[in-house]
Amino acid sequence: LRRQRQMCIRDRYLRVLLPPSLESLRTQGATTLAYVGSDEWLIEPLREHGFVVDNVIVAYQKTDWAVPSRGSQEVWVRPAHPSDFPALVALDKAAFEPLWQNTAEVFQDALANYPHFVVAELDGVVVGYEFSRLVGNQGYLARVAVHPSYQRQSIGTRLLAESIAFFKQEGVQAIILNTQQDNQASQRLYRRFGFELVGEEAMVLKFDIPLSPQSSPEFL
């Protein structure tokens, strides 16, 4: 009975909060609203209101410094600079779906707050990047990205090796990272480097925002 009462309250809140939120997003040109998290109390009500499971975020961990390969030595790996942001934004648009694309503001924040942020250049072209941060005595590998036109050239391997070298220098006890469950290419690379799957970290739910108020679902 208590659970049913809680579900009713959550349903009432969603009915009140979602319509104006979706309308505001729609007028700004947004086409999708996404939730990424592990709050069980929220996931079920969102699914009842039309959100669908799009993906699952999984966590990996590594507790040693073993590096099976240094990757491509043809690319120049150097610290990122604000002048790189346009190229990085374009790279993300080519490599990721909108939900996972970083903006120039995100890159600016990473440059200001992440102690390790490097880009990979090949013949003067930015072809990849990686940034990481420290979380207590752990290292968090936030992003490794390579432009689709330059993948399968061991550039991601090089960037991953560079990040592990950074974490080794900092003396962290473990390296952690998150990735999408369906990103099998990245997971193969991580497992090759000795990362072990820890488990599921979060659910990715999506809701397609109606093109007009008239086409909104009944609960709106």
Which pLDDT tens digit goes with each residue over 32-66? Answer: 999 999 988 889 889 988 999 999 999 999 999 99
Helix (H) or strand (E) holding 91: helix 85-95
Mean pLDDT of the chain: 91
Q: What pLDDT score does 160 carry?
A: 98
User: Is 47 within 8 Å of 11 (Cβ atoms)?
Assistant: no
Of 206, 192, 187, the residue nearest 59 (C-alpha): 187
Query: What pLDDT score does 219 carry?
Result: 47
Q: How far apart are CA 217 and CA 51, in angstroms?
A: 12
Ranges in the chain, pLDDT < 70: 1-7, 9, 212-220
* Euclidean distance between CA atoms 157 and 163, whole angstroms: 10
